[in-house]
Structure formats: C-alpha cells, structure tokens
Amino acid sequence: MIVPMKKVTVVVEIHNKSDMLSNLRKSGIIHIFTENVRTQKGDTLQKDCESFYLMKAAIEESIVKGKELPMQKDASAREFQKLHESLQSLYSEKKVLNESIVKDNLLIEQIKEWGDFNPSAIEELEGNGIKLSFYQVGKKELLNIPEAIKFIELDPVDKQVAIAVINSQLDPSFPARRFEIPELGLVALKDRVEQNRVEVEKINTQFEKAQCYFDSYKEALNKSELDMHFEKIYSQMNTDDSLSYVTGYIPVTKFDKFEKTAKNNCWGYLADDPDEEDLPPTLVQYKRGVGIIKPLFDILGTVPGYREGDISEWFLMFFTLFFAMIIGDAGYGFIFLIAGIIMQKKTKELTTANILIYVLSIATIIWGSITGTWFGSATIISSTPLKYLVIPAIANYPALFNMDSGAAQNNIMQFCFILGTIQLSLAEVINITRKARAKDISLIADIGWLMDILSLYFVVLNLVIQKPCNYGIVFPIIGVGFLLVVVFGSQKSGVPFGKGLAAGGGGFFTTFLNTISCFSNIMSYIRLFAVGLATLAIAQSFNAMAAPMFGGITTIIGILILIIGHVLNLAMGLLSVIVHGVRLNLLEFSGQLNMEWSGIEYEPFSEAVKE
C-alpha cells in the first residue's frame, strides 16, 4: 500500500535554524523538496563535490578488474587535503596530455602521406630568401599552373601531385589543396605522442598508489553531498521576523517519532493532511512476498503517484507470467535458476533480487515444461519422461501428441487474449472499488468500460482465431457500455449532473477512439504468443545449424554454435521482456487504471546519501 503522509511545517527562532536542520537530519524522517537556490557557499560545496567525484572515479579507473583494493589508510584532514590537491593537479595534467595525444594523432594522420620533414629547415630557407608553399594538385591542373609561378614537383601524396611553389602562392581560386606546415615533423610528432603516453602512465601509477585512500574519498564525497543538501535546504528556508520555518512530508507511521523529536527540541510545528494541490512523495509499503518486485521498479525508475494507488502485487503476478511466456523455455529457466544460485553464493545472502530471479526462473521452467520446450529441441521431449509434463492442447510440438498444430497455436493465442481481458477487467474492478469507497458516481462509467472489455474479447476471438461470436448480443452490450462512459465519465463530486453530461457529450469522439483503443489493447496481448514463438524459432534454427557438425573434428564447432546461439537468444529474450512484458503492465494495464507513474520517491532528509 501507499503510506499516507502528513504535511508538516516546523517553526523555530532564527538563531536555532541550523540546529533544527541538523536534528531533523539525524531523525531521518522528513522529506523536504529542495529548490535550486544558488548561494556562494552552495557553489563552493558543489565544486568540492564534483572534484571529489572526479578523483574517486579516476582512482576507480586504476583498479584492475577482479583485483581487491589494497589495505585502506586513514588520513588526517590536512593529509587528505594535500593528497587531494596533488591528485587534482595530476588529473589536470593528464587531461592536457591526453588532449595533446589526440590532437597530435589527428595531425599525424593528416600529414603522414607527406613523409617526414624538418619544419625548421623550411624556416631557415625562408630566412635565406627562399619561401616555399606546398600544394596537392591533380595531374590535369598541374599543366594549368601559370608559367610565371616556379615550383618543384615532389613525390605524389594521396594519388595527387605534390608541389613546392617557390617565392609565390597559387591563386585561392585555383583547384589545389594547400598543405600547412606544422610546428613539428612526422617523427618528432610521434616522439611527442610517445613521451606524453609515458607521462600519462606515470600519472596512472600515482592514482594506483592512491587506491589505499579510496574509502577516504567515498567518505569525503558522502560528506560533501550531505553538506550540499543541507545548504540547499538551509538557503531556501522561509523567515519571518524572528522566526524561521521549513515544510516537508512525514509518513503517518513515523509521525510519533517526529512528535517526540519536536518535543525534545522545543520546536513548534503545524501538521495536517496534504491538500489536493500538494504533491507529496510516495512511500510504498509492500505486502509480505511482494517486495521482490522493487528491484525491477528501481531499474525502470517507476514510482506510483501518491494518489494513484499501489499495484505492485498485480504487477508482480502478471510480470512473472509474461516473463515465463516470453522466454518460454524450461532449459533457459534452469540457466536463470543456476545464475541466481551463483549470485546468492557470491553475495552470501538472500536478497530480494535473488528471490525475484528464483520466482521468474521457476515460472519459466513450469511454462516451458507444460508447453514442452527445452532448449528448442523436440528430441528432448520425445525421448525423455519430460513429455508427461506437457499439456498437449498448448504444446509447441503438437505432432508428438497427435494434436493439430493450428489448433495448439489457437489455444495459446486464446490464452493470451484471456490474460489480457482478465488484466484489463481487473483494472476496471480496482477503479470501481476505489470510487465506490469515495462514493464517486463516475464508477458507473468504469462499469461501462468493464462491459466493453468483456464484450470486445469475443470480437477479438472471432477476428483472430475465427471463434463464433453472436454480434447481435455483443454489439448492443458494447453500445450500452459506451453510453455509460459518455454519460458518467465526466461526473465529479460537487459538479451538477447536467454539466458532467455536457462534458461527457463533448468528449463523445474521444470516448469512441478510446473504445477502439480498448479493442487494440486486448489484441496487443498476442505479443506474448508472437515473441515466445520467435524465441522458440531462433533456438530451433541454431539447433539445426549445429546438428550436422556433431561427429568428428567439427563437434567443437557445433558446440560453439549451440552456446553462442542460445546465449544470444537468451539476451534477446530478456530484451523482449523489457520491451513487451513490462509494457503490458506499464501501458495497457496502468493506462486502464489511469496511472501515470508520476510519483516522487520518498527520500527523507537524513545523514545517508542515496547514490
């Protein structure tokens, strides 16, 4: 559920402003929205924070993958400041050197066709009255150079004639490409690049030596971020004569703790429920077992709005089934299961991410088992007892069970449409339940949508898999549902019925389009069948490619084809889960619930910084 919030304003005397914020931060319970108020101190803290981050990242880059950090050393404030200034200087020097290397390499590429030369010798000639200008011209253009211009023909450059014009220049309009003499020749530029690379390596060695202060940098960065956040809140606090105050949000479950803190510090405060205009942060309190979906929400960066409601349990249930159907292969499910076990052994703890992997992998194993899909191989099913786990009506190899392939595919497609209808209908049931509690008459419009969804399901079955449909009954029900949406869709508490009816009539065409969209939403669940079938087809293709290789010396090649092919298929399957499995929850299902996932996650002002 989404935890209700209290809007709280804490008031203190101006001279207690800083102490009050410090104690609020220690309590770690109030969410305060910060604004971009610029102050000199804030800019300084921002600059310090960025420098700590850059040095920490530079040290991190020097760490060899798989190698443990050296034993960490403690540094006094003065020692750390000295180290930081030294590393900053080295970092700036390295940046200049790398820029020089890039610039010189580009120049080397531009002039390498001209070969090596000594620019100082050319300058010396100019001092003696012989000024040379260098050009690239075509063979035909060479014949058109005016006789008055004296030049020396050089070795060809890029399949063009290279010339050195003596004490003159070609007209800018003449079709020739001028070559500007750089400060150094080719060999000298290459030497400078090599010298700069040596210097960069020396600097990298210094950052490697600083690895023993990596924890010190993490601590410094953490403190800097805390100070910066503190300064942002401090600078935006409102003041009125001798008083200062700050406003934030506190979960009702933590309000008792706040009251004790306020009493102990002699603060004045005003607490009330958020108004409709307020946008409180969202704190989701997951039911037992449902919290395993949180890692996925964190990856997606989705947070429900404070007033949108918590659908995490339904999201988890449907996402698990969608994942299993899209991956679709019990063999792949076992790979995920093994990966989860290895992850748990490495972390030495059972995390929510681990549990989620176990749930998804077991669901995939079950779905793959009942559809008879093990690494896309019919042989595994036909020659092992695994065939007894298969439900013939939805088997991916129906011929093994004397089933018609078209009938089996139609059954799976129908199952996809049933899933879509159930999920979209569930959304409307949730809407109706919420509005009934709030005594909102617009729930009748949601009843209309529910009628449309259930009726359109039969239309979809008829159009896609030719299931009989009594349109004489279905269309009138759709029409009644449509009218209920038009009449009651815009009705609101405190708004006259006639005004709501007029608003609904004004949105007649939009409601018509939304009804068509409702039809397409049910249709979109066929993607579960299509993507699952594609995953199977790819697995079968790689199996077919590898099969002729087994036997003799080519067996190794066959094994490699199988490994590479199935790994690629797994990766594409995971991508499909994000594109399709998540989409059905975040767009179709959430759209039917009128959810926008516009929430701001509850992050209390505390002594911990969220990275």
Token couple for 349: 């703890």
**If DSSP states are collapsed to H, E and C, what string results for 336-391?**
HHHHHHHHHHHHCCCCHHHHHHHHHHHHHHHHHHHHCCCCCCHHHHHCCHHHHHCC
**Main-chain phi, psi angles of 185, to 5 degrees:** -80, 180
Within 10 Å of residue 611's Cβ, how many Cβ atoms? 7
Question: Between these two residues, 385 and 68, which has the higher pLDDT value?
Answer: 385
Cα–Cα distance measured from residue 437 to residue 583, given in angstroms and rounded to the nearest whole number: 29
Cα–Cα distance measured from residue 173 to residue 191, given in angstroms and rounded to the nearest whole number: 37
pLDDT digits (tens, 9 = 90+) for 474-503: 999 999 999 998 888 887 777 787 887 887
Burial call 75-106: b when 16+ CB within 10 Å, e when fewer:
beeeebeebbeebeebbeebeebeebbeebee
Residues of the chain with pLDDT > 90, as a percent, come to 46
For position 365, what pLDDT does the model report? 96
DSSP code at position 598:
B
pLDDT digits (tens, 9 = 90+) for 262-284: 999 889 999 999 988 888 999 99
Angstrom distances, CA of residue 591 to CA of 193, 369, 584, 587: 58, 33, 10, 5
pLDDT digits (tens, 9 = 90+) for 176-235: 999 988 989 999 999 999 999 999 999 999 999 999 988 898 888 888 888 888 888 888
Question: Between these two residues, 204 and 607, which has the higher pLDDT value?
Answer: 204
| pLDDT range class, residue 608, cuts 50, 70, 90 | low
Task: With beta carbons less than 8 A apart as the criterion, state whether 275 and 6 touch.
Answer: no
**If DSSP states are collapsed to H, E and C, what string results for 71-128?**
CCCCCCHHHHHHHHHHHHHHHHHHHHHHHHHHHHHHHHHHHHHHCCCCHHHHHHHHHC
Q: Residue 134 forms beta bridges with which residues?
A: 164, 179
All residues at 6 or more sequence positions from 449 whose CB lies less than 8 Å from its CB, including other chains: 428, 431, 481, 485, 518, 592
Cα–Cα distance measured from residue 300 to residue 234, given in angstroms and rounded to the nearest whole number: 32
Task: With beta carbons less than 8 A apart as the criterion, state whether 501 and 442 touch.
Answer: no
Indicate whether 611 pLDDT > 50. Answer: no
Task: With beta carbons less than 8 A apart as the criterion, state whether 354 and 362 touch.
Answer: no
Cα–Cα distance measured from residue 609 to residue 611, given in angstroms and rounded to the nearest whole number: 6
Number of residues in the chain: 611
Q: Which of 514, 551, 530, 402 is nearest to 464 (CA)?
A: 530
Angstrom distances, CA of residue 533 to CA of 95, 395, 442, 530, 574: 51, 12, 41, 5, 14
Token couple for 55: 């040095």
Burial call 349-387: b when 16+ CB within 10 Å, e when fewer:
eeeebbbbbbbbbbbbbebbbbbbbbbbbbebbeeeeeb
**Residue ranges with strand state E in 471-600:** none
| pLDDT range class, residue 38, cuts 50, 70, 90 | confident
DSSP code at position 393:
G
For position 331, what pLDDT does the model report? 93
Task: With beta carbons less than 8 A apart as the criterion, state whether 76 and 231 touch.
Answer: no
Q: Which segment of 6-10, 36-40, 78-82, 431-435 scores lowest on mean pLDDT? A: 36-40
Residues of the chain with pLDDT > 70, as a percent, come to 99
Task: With beta carbons less than 8 A apart as the criterion, state whether 73 and 212 touch.
Answer: yes
For position 609, what pLDDT does the model report? 53
Angstrom distances, CA of residue 292 to CA of 4, 286, 341, 345: 22, 9, 16, 18
For position 355, what pLDDT does the model report? 92
Q: Which segment of 36-45, 99-108, 175-184, 332-341 scores lowest on mean pLDDT? A: 36-45
Indicate whether 568 pLDDT > 90. Answer: yes
Cα–Cα distance measured from residue 35 to residue 20, given in angstroms and rounded to the nearest whole number: 19
Task: Give just the sign of the alpha carbon dihedral 50, 53, 59, 63.
Answer: negative
For position 596, what pLDDT does the model report? 87
Q: Residue 201 forms beta bridges with which residues?
A: none
Task: With residue 178 as reference, give the H or E element that holds it.
Answer: strand 176-179
For position 273, what pLDDT does the model report? 92
Residue labelled with tokens 């101006």: 14
pLDDT digits (tens, 9 = 90+) for 250-261: 999 999 999 999
Determine the angle formed by the axes of helices 527-546 and 405-437, rounding to 10 degrees.
140
* Residue 158 region by backbone torsions, left for phi larger than 0, else alpha for psi between -120 and 50, else beta: left
Numbers of helices and strands, H then E, in the chain: 22, 8
Token couple for 442: 């617009």
Cα–Cα distance measured from residue 496 to residue 364, given in angstroms and rounded to the nearest whole number: 52
CA end-to-end span of the chain: 25
Token couple for 185: 């020749």
Task: With beta carbons less than 8 A apart as the criterion, state whether 45 and 224 touch.
Answer: yes
Cα–Cα distance measured from residue 537 to residue 533, given in angstroms and rounded to the nearest whole number: 6
Residue labelled with tokens 């300058």: 123
**pTM summary value:** 0.76
